Structure 1
Amino acid sequence: MVNIIIVEDHPLFRMGVKNTIEKSGENFRIMGEASNAAELFELLKTQKPDLILLDIVLPDLRGEEIARRLKVEYPNIKVLVLSAETTEAAIYDLVSIGVAGFISKQVVATDIIRAIREVMCGNEFYGTDIATILSRLMFDHEHAPKDTPTTTLTPRELEVVERLCEGKPTKIISAELGISDRTVEAHKNNLYQKLGLRNQVELARYCFKKGIVKLE
């Protein structure tokens, strides 16, 4: 029996996923549901699932932050991301954290079942659209400059880059640091120029590789 917790803040979508799993004929059981991170970690005090189906955009924490915490506190629980957000930054971050799989909410019901089955067999599973983006990221990584010099960042740039690597959007960063959205974007562009990078995915990869930001 594979015990599953669904973490999804839209009740109708959560119900649809639950029905798909329960009617699949597989040896799967929905042991709990959560609409946010707080509910999930409260459930985990008493429930021990084999798999967590995790959305990225939730009311209290993003999926990346939840996945990092799960990796540390519950390393034996497999995490399968099921989300409408399929940006390069989100995919790169979650794959770097070590989720077992990632599928888009656009997939058909049978793909959800297939993904759960593959992940529980010890394999990784990525939907076709996610796999395409991953292939592009790997190509970019292989062709990225290998000897980019490490440049000293200012304290403010470090504050900005840490939040960018956590996948936080500009509005959240500006609110946390007490600066304008335009200032955050200016810092971001300065970081790209200073480090010789092209986008947020390359920035995150560079900072993790150089130890500027560490996965926790």
Structure 2
Amino acid sequence: MIKLYLAEDQQLLNTALAGILELEDDLTMIGTATNGQIALEQIATLQPDVALLDIEMPGLTGLEIARRLHEQQPQVKVIILTTFAQTSYFKQAISAEVAGYLLKDGPSDDLIVAIHSVMAGKTVYAPELVVGLTNQPQNPLSQRETDVLQAVANGLSNKEVASQLFLSDGTVRNYMSTILSKLAASNRIEAIQIARHNGWL
């Protein structure tokens, strides 16, 4: 029997999906939550075989839970279930070494197959996300430029970025000028949006 845990913040979908999966002879739902923090605590206690996680939830996101489980309970297989076909989310999920990443608009049969596949040691990713990742433009920013833009995206001023990255104020300004030029952005907000859209941040 495969023990499942479901974290989904939409109560109706949570209940419906849990009911569908319980119909399978070899699947049992041992817990559900609509809050990410509660989900992480319960997963630690209940020890499911597979955790099905939505991305956007109150408390903790599904990606944050996935990262913590990878570090603390790597035996728990994680499948991300989301409406977001965003390359940036997909990249974060891959870095957290999730076993599966599926879109919610897919048929429930695909999820059931995915659960059995990850239990067999396979990874299951939505095909359209894999295609999107391979077709994605290359990041024109150097690692240092990416670090600077990430710090700015986190709300730091030039002076704070300089302090955090051990740079001078002038060097940070030079980096930002180069970043704007490379991304063809008119200001730092647009640069951040472009970088996030392409999954570079």
Query: TM class, shorter-chain normalised?
Result: 0.7 to 0.9
- Once residues 11 and 202 of structure 1 are traced to their aligned partners in structure 2, the CA distance between those partners, rounded to angstroms, is 30
Q: Secondary structure at the match of 2:17?
A: helix
- Structure 1 unaligned spans of 5+: 164-173, 179-186, 205-216
In structure 2, the CA distance between the partners of 1:160 and 1:9, relative to structure 1 (3 Å rule), is same
Stretches of structure 2 that go unaligned for 5 or more consecutive residues are: 158-172, 184-193
Q: How does 1:115-194 map to 2 (within 5 A)?
A: 115-127=114-126, 131-140=127-136, 144=138, 149-151=142-144, 157-161=149-153, 163=154, 190=176, 193=179
SS in 2 for 1:118: helix
**Displacement of 1:153 after TM fit?**
7.3
- Equivalent residue for 1:184? none
Q: Percent identity?
A: 27
Secondary structure at the counterpart of residue 31 of structure 1: strand
Displacement of 1:112: 1.4
2:8 is the alignment partner of 1:12: no
After superposition, the Cα gap between the structure-2 partners of 1:12 and 1:94, relative to the gap in structure 1 and judged at 3 Å, is same
- The TM-score with structure 2 as length reference comes to 0.73
Which residue number corresponds to residue 47 of structure 1? 46
Find the counterpart in structure 1 of residue 170 from structure 2: none
**1:160 deviation in Å?**
3.4
2:90 paired with 1:91: yes
TM-score by length of 1: 0.69
Name the count of aligned residue pairs.
Answer: 173
Structure number with greater Rg is 2
- Aligned partner of 1:203 in structure 2 is 200
| Deviation digits for residues 118-145 of structure 1 (CA, Å, limit 9, x no counterpart) | 1111111123xxx22322322436xx37
Contact 1:151–1:194 (CA under 8 A) maintained in structure 2: no
Q: CA deviation at 1:152?
A: 5.7
